[in-house]
Structure 1
Amino acid sequence: MAEYSLNVQIDPEDLQTLKESKYNLCIARKVNGVYNVVWSGDAQYLANNKFSWVDEYQVFGINKFKAGALVKASTNPHDIESGQTCEMNDAGVMSDAFGSTDTTGKFKIINKFGKVSFGVNAKFGDVMLPIFVTPTTVLGTAMFEPITAFQVWFSLEQKTGTMILSADSEVIQVKYQGKALDRTVAYKGGKWSVQH
């Protein structure tokens, strides 16, 4: 399984200002075309930061998407791989994933419970953290497509697990294409740039 990494470099002068103002460094991952959960957001950053992950996912049920709230799973989370399906039964219990794995990068949940939102966790370092919650409640089937694209920004309010409608400051977006598994962004003078 490929291991990806994202390097975030922060100019020392900016770092001083950001720390004094108590900003969190936030990263979100794109799922179904949107960024709507802070995958990682905390104040434990320095001038050079390296984040790494592999494509491992879980799905879970959650009452509903609420901007500004922290993601808290309402059901048992279950591991799932590309091509597989989980089913939430009428009692609200999530099944083990079933079906053949493939390389589409998509997976789904069949909902037999009723109106509910669903979330996706992804492995970040050694822990599973939320990356997405369906913005509306789902009846029937929900399809998920995490892609290797990220948004990075600084926030006073948003932190790991916060459901968001948008970032609350200037962002930089990073996409991994082809064989590129390692990308670097830099923050200097209040501006983001991609390093090549």
Structure 2
Amino acid sequence: MATYTLTVNVDSADLVPLKEAGYKLCIAKRVNDKYDVVWSGSDFFKRNTFQWNVAFQVFGSQKFEGGLRVGSDTEERTIDFGEICTLDKYGSMHPAHGAKDTSGVLRVENQYGAMHLGVNAKLGTKWSAIYLSDKPFYTGEINLTPIEKVVIWFDSKSETGTMLVDAITDCIELDFTGSAEPQSVRYASDPKTPGKGGWARGEQFILSSTYHIDTDTFSFEPPSAPLIAKLTDIINSQKDSQSSKISVFALTEFHEQGAAQTFAQYALEHQPDGIRTWEFTHSGHIVESKLKAQEDQEDDLAVRFLQDAYLSVLYSFQGPKYKRLSFDVHGRSSSPTPYWGESSGELVIRYGNVTDAANAAIGIPLLAKTGQSIYIANVHDENDEWVRMRLGLINPSGDVAQDRQTIVNPLAAALFGGKLFFEHPPFFPNAQDRVLGLVKWDAN
């Protein structure tokens, strides 16, 4: 099943003016060749990631009134393409039945009479309406056809589930019908008029549109001179930060069915700061990723920064464990940074109380600020006195024993040396010389 990912970036300078003016970030999804319900209308941040799969429900409603929220008067039934739900003469929506197919059509057999029919779709983990027919359907079979296109805009009057009645201004339409590859856009407001804005994709302007609901057409809006200048500055700043050619590609393989999709969704929701490109796709047990930094850095520093960012998310993921991990570096002028399983592993540390464990989880990653080692730590979800950490080495020499000692020595010295964040040694391991032997290395 395809997973669609949309990222909407908002210029930092616009966050306060937009929120103070009461704006919400809104998305609508296309059904039966029109947009007529706000799928999501909510608060927003600098970076906003939305994900959805092909999952739908159908329902019936006695009323369509523009500006009000959609309300269901019947049962909401989950349905797949090709299946059919029956709305009986008593107004009850029955569970879907029939053969599933790839037609892209949801079917309802209406035995009741005049009824507005609606469609819900799942955005993240929540169901919300994406369509309600503005006119009632009468008896017979009705086809409902969701289309993988969305419209995005900022609105001070609408919220999730609002039935659209007025034209949507300053919007952009994105088409996912040809590919499930993630898409990303950036929004910036006119400096003088919050909410009157424009869009950019990569290094290109996208003219804002007005969507006319009654005719299902778009008309383009010429941007103001101040907005053009602002968008130009944003795009130029992105170009300046793109002088680094370094890209890191990661491939992670999981054991369990469905784990790859779960991790890809988790990673997209936890993009670290300082990352410009953070793309994740999954197929079967494999997750493939492309990473780029926002700021130009020397090759080795850029590689290390991107690998650290990826590993911090991977090791904080509480789902199924991965089986294999590899990095591939593109665009560097110096020799590549290899990833060695022999020089990467996991260690669990137990402290006498929650406070000491929390302090250690803060202090351990700071050890990586100097030297060639990677240390990532999190307090264990199931027991707050335990710290689960990952450790690895940048640019390993290939001498496994030496590399492992290089990784472990600074950590062991800190744990038992009484430094900041480590005033009390752990209960487990209980001696400095035991640390090396208790690391579970990824490859032996």
Q: Distance in 2 between matches of 1:136 and 1:108?
A: 17
After TM superposition, the structure 1 stretch with the greater mean CA deviation from structure 2, 167-176 or 73-82, is 167-176
Which structure's residues are more often strand, by fraction?
1
Given that residues 147 and 177 in structure 2 are in contact (C-alpha distance below 8 angstroms), is that contact kept between their aligned partners in structure 1? no
Give deviations 1:103-161, integer Å, cap 9, x for gaps: 11111111100101011000111011100001100012221110110000011110000
In the alignment, structure 2 segments of 5+ residues that lack a partner are: 190-196, 204-444
2:199 alignment counterpart: 192
- For residues 23-38 of structure 1, the aligned pairs below 5 Å read 23-38=23-38
Q: Distance in 1 between matches of 2:78 and 2:42?
A: 26
Alpha-carbon distance change, 103 to 93 in structure 1, aligned in 2, over 3 angstroms: same
Q: Greater Rg, structure 1 or structure 2?
A: 2
Letter in 1 for 2:25: L
Tell me which of the two structures has the higher relative contact order, counting C-alpha pairs closer than 8 angstroms and 6 or more residues apart: 1
Q: Say if 2:126 is the partner of 1:119.
A: no
- For residues 6-45 of structure 1, the aligned pairs below 5 Å read 6-43=6-43, 45=44
- For residues 81-100 of structure 1, the aligned pairs below 5 Å read 81-100=80-99
Given that residues 64 and 136 in structure 1 are in contact (C-alpha distance below 8 angstroms), is that contact kept between their aligned partners in structure 2? no
Structure 1 length-normalised TM: 0.95
Letter in 1 for 2:102: T
Structure 2 length-normalised TM: 0.43
Given that residues 25 and 41 in structure 1 are in contact (C-alpha distance below 8 angstroms), is that contact kept between their aligned partners in structure 2? yes
Given that residues 153 and 167 in structure 1 are in contact (C-alpha distance below 8 angstroms), is that contact kept between their aligned partners in structure 2? no
- CA RMSD, Structure 1 to Structure 2 (Å): 1.3
Q: Percent identity?
A: 37
2:396 alignment counterpart: none
Counterpart of 2:160 in 1: which secondary structure?
coil
Letter in 2 for 1:131: I
Q: Distance in 2 between matches of 1:183 and 1:165?
A: 28
Give deviations 1:135-194, integer Å, cap 9, x for gaps: 100012221110110000011110000010345431100001433331111102420233
Instruction: Provide runs of 4+ in structure 1 moved above 2 Å.
Output: 165-169, 177-181, 193-196
2:57 alignment counterpart: 58
Q: Distance in 1 between matches of 2:177 and 2:84?
A: 26
Given that residues 36 and 166 in structure 1 are in contact (C-alpha distance below 8 angstroms), is that contact kept between their aligned partners in structure 2? no
Alpha-carbon distance change, 146 to 111 in structure 1, aligned in 2, over 3 angstroms: same
Q: Distance in 2 between matches of 1:179 and 1:55?
A: 13
1:67 alignment counterpart: 66
Given that residues 121 and 132 in structure 1 are in contact (C-alpha distance below 8 angstroms), is that contact kept between their aligned partners in structure 2? yes
Q: Distance in 1 between matches of 2:133 and 2:92?
A: 18
Given that residues 28 and 40 in structure 1 are in contact (C-alpha distance below 8 angstroms), is that contact kept between their aligned partners in structure 2? yes
Alpha-carbon distance change, 149 to 90 in structure 1, aligned in 2, over 3 angstroms: same
Which structure's residues are more often helix, by fraction?
2
Letter in 1 for 2:201: V
Q: Distance in 2 between matches of 1:180 and 1:59?
A: 24
1:172 alignment counterpart: 172
Give deviations 1:67-114, integer Å, cap 9, x for gaps: 011011000110100011111000001111111111111111111001
Letter in 2 for 1:11: D
Letter in 2 for 1:42: S
1:2 alignment counterpart: 2
Q: Distance in 2 between matches of 1:194 and 1:165?
A: 28
Q: Distance in 1 between matches of 2:145 and 2:181?
A: 19
Given that residues 61 and 118 in structure 2 are in contact (C-alpha distance below 8 angstroms), is that contact kept between their aligned partners in structure 1? yes
Q: Distance in 1 between matches of 2:201 and 2:32?
A: 24
In the alignment, structure 1 segments of 5+ residues that lack a partner are: none
Q: Distance in 2 between matches of 1:83 and 1:115?
A: 23
Given that residues 71 and 162 in structure 1 are in contact (C-alpha distance below 8 angstroms), is that contact kept between their aligned partners in structure 2? yes
Q: Distance in 1 between matches of 2:30 and 2:132?
A: 11
Counterpart of 1:35 in 2: which secondary structure?
coil
